[in-house]
Structure 1
């Protein structure tokens, strides 16, 4: 941890951030050890929405580690929720009254993991009364741990992360993701691509929302947008971006909150231009 960083959030003698870091690192290393070694593959909502026993095992590990330290806290994890947008929205609503809510994606980028494409992560966030106060994203393939605390900055390898300096969309490298549901959002996504590609330096799609957000925070991407995400895809990465000097809203420019499913995250400088372009091209989703 950088010497510039203040004391982490604690309850009693236990640091929320230390638990999040330790938990993400342990889960990530276990996931990496299972590359090419999973035995079950299950389709959730569509052939594009997949889960393995590694996702479930990772979430169980994360739950057990968190509950060991904070047995009174609540946990919202992807694999503990029925597939589909409606079930995700309902699960978040049911958990929203919790004073402390851990929001977990045990493998963000399952399709990549299944194919051996090394771009997936563990995402762990902690919300206090609905506000994200800790966010950790761990990439086990690159051994990169991105950490943010509300009001205290964001770090990777102990170094402060800062968003990129591009002032124009034309000079920017941006990223997007493709919805797993292949419903109305895919049409909006394609309209967005058609509008954005000619207006930027280039577009990437890595397949892990949490890592895309971490890359915006670290200045590797100038911006990122995606439709149809869930709280566990966004929560930790959102705090990374904000604590690195960036800006996060929904695709219509409204402030981020846990219920946001269509997201734009940028260095702040290109934010209005990107959000407006998505809206004008009917690519902002519902």
Structure 2
């Protein structure tokens, strides 16, 4: 998974260098970014289908490609942070997760491996079920902060045609006065990786997709944190609603979110 991410990441890094020139063109960079996204996804698919024949895929661009019965699947976002990439902001990532089928074969269960790769900083966040979370060869642990007043929390904000502004505003109004700061950097996979690394103390967002969060959920859990929906329910992949934090803050954040949504 890391080998595939690094191969695709090298192409994204090269294409990112062209964005500055495309910003001033009449056509603009949107079509170019779409092609960069597709090329990165095809690179990941080519690499991973050779490494794990018979596995399925769930990809942001390519959709679901079933594998053989009873085999796991890769859940892939080839370019998380597309808007950042489009505007020449060096904050985006490749996210890959390996997900097992449920025992009855009718759905998808736990995530067993994860990679979030940031091509610009060359950081590889990775985790394996029951083996911990890592940044390169260094073990990751969520932060130890337990007071809301010390907490730096990340979020994803609604934007044109996406998300519930009223709901987000209620949550922000509840949390904002209590925490040390709230950040919105625009790449959920990296937000979750940074919670795992202790850079953020918590993260919330809604209306995401499995490829946005599958890898990040495992990273946080393997680093000692908790990931649930806004009501405190844990799932293998939290995407419609995701609340991630260390063990000292998760219950406090969950209480505020739940109250704000009543």
TM category (shorter chain) comes to 0.7 to 0.9
Using the alignment, how far apart are the partners of 1:155 and 1:181 within structure 2?
35
Instruction: Mark the runs of 5 or more structure 2 residues left unpaired by the alignment.
Output: 23-28, 102-108
- What secondary structure is seen at the aligned counterpart in 2 of 1:34? helix
Is 2:163 the partner of 1:174?
Answer: no
Is 2:8 the partner of 1:23?
Answer: no
- What secondary structure is seen at the aligned counterpart in 1 of 2:16? coil
Is 2:35 the partner of 1:53?
Answer: yes
Q: Structure 1 residues 105-114 or 189-198, which shifts more?
A: 189-198
Q: Contact 1:216–1:265 (CA<8 Å) still a contact in 2?
A: yes
Q: Contact 1:36–1:114 (CA<8 Å) still a contact in 2?
A: no
Is 2:87 the partner of 1:112?
Answer: no
Is 2:193 the partner of 1:221?
Answer: no
Q: Structure 1 residues 51-60 or 231-240, which shifts more?
A: 51-60
- What secondary structure is seen at the aligned counterpart in 1 of 2:185? coil
Using the alignment, how far apart are the partners of 1:142 and 1:36 within structure 2?
14
Using the alignment, how far apart are the partners of 1:117 and 1:56 within structure 2?
19
Paired position in structure 1 for 2:144: 165
Using the alignment, how far apart are the partners of 2:122 and 2:128 within structure 1?
20
Q: Please provide the CA RMSD for this pair.
A: 2.1
Using the alignment, how far apart are the partners of 1:53 and 1:193 within structure 2?
35
Paired position in structure 2 for 1:16: none
- What secondary structure is seen at the aligned counterpart in 2 of 1:37? helix
Instruction: Mark the runs of 5 or more structure 1 residues left unpaired by the alignment.
Output: 1-19, 43-49, 82-90
- What secondary structure is seen at the aligned counterpart in 1 of 2:200? coil
Q: How many residues align?
A: 246
Q: Contact 2:74–2:99 (CA<8 Å) still a contact in 1?
A: yes
- What secondary structure is seen at the aligned counterpart in 2 of 1:203? strand
Is 2:242 the partner of 1:263?
Answer: yes
User: What do residues 40-65 of structure 1 show as CA deviations (whole Å, max 9, x unaligned)?
Assistant: 625xxxxxxx9611111110110011
Is 2:63 the partner of 1:63?
Answer: no
Flag as ranges the 4+ runs of structure 1 deviating above 3 A: 179-184
- What secondary structure is seen at the aligned counterpart in 2 of 1:125? strand
Deviation at 1:195, TM superposition (A): 1.5
TM-score (norm 2): 0.88
Using the alignment, how far apart are the partners of 1:228 and 1:156 within structure 2?
27
Question: 1:228-247 residue pairs with structure 2 within 5 A?
Answer: 228-247=207-226
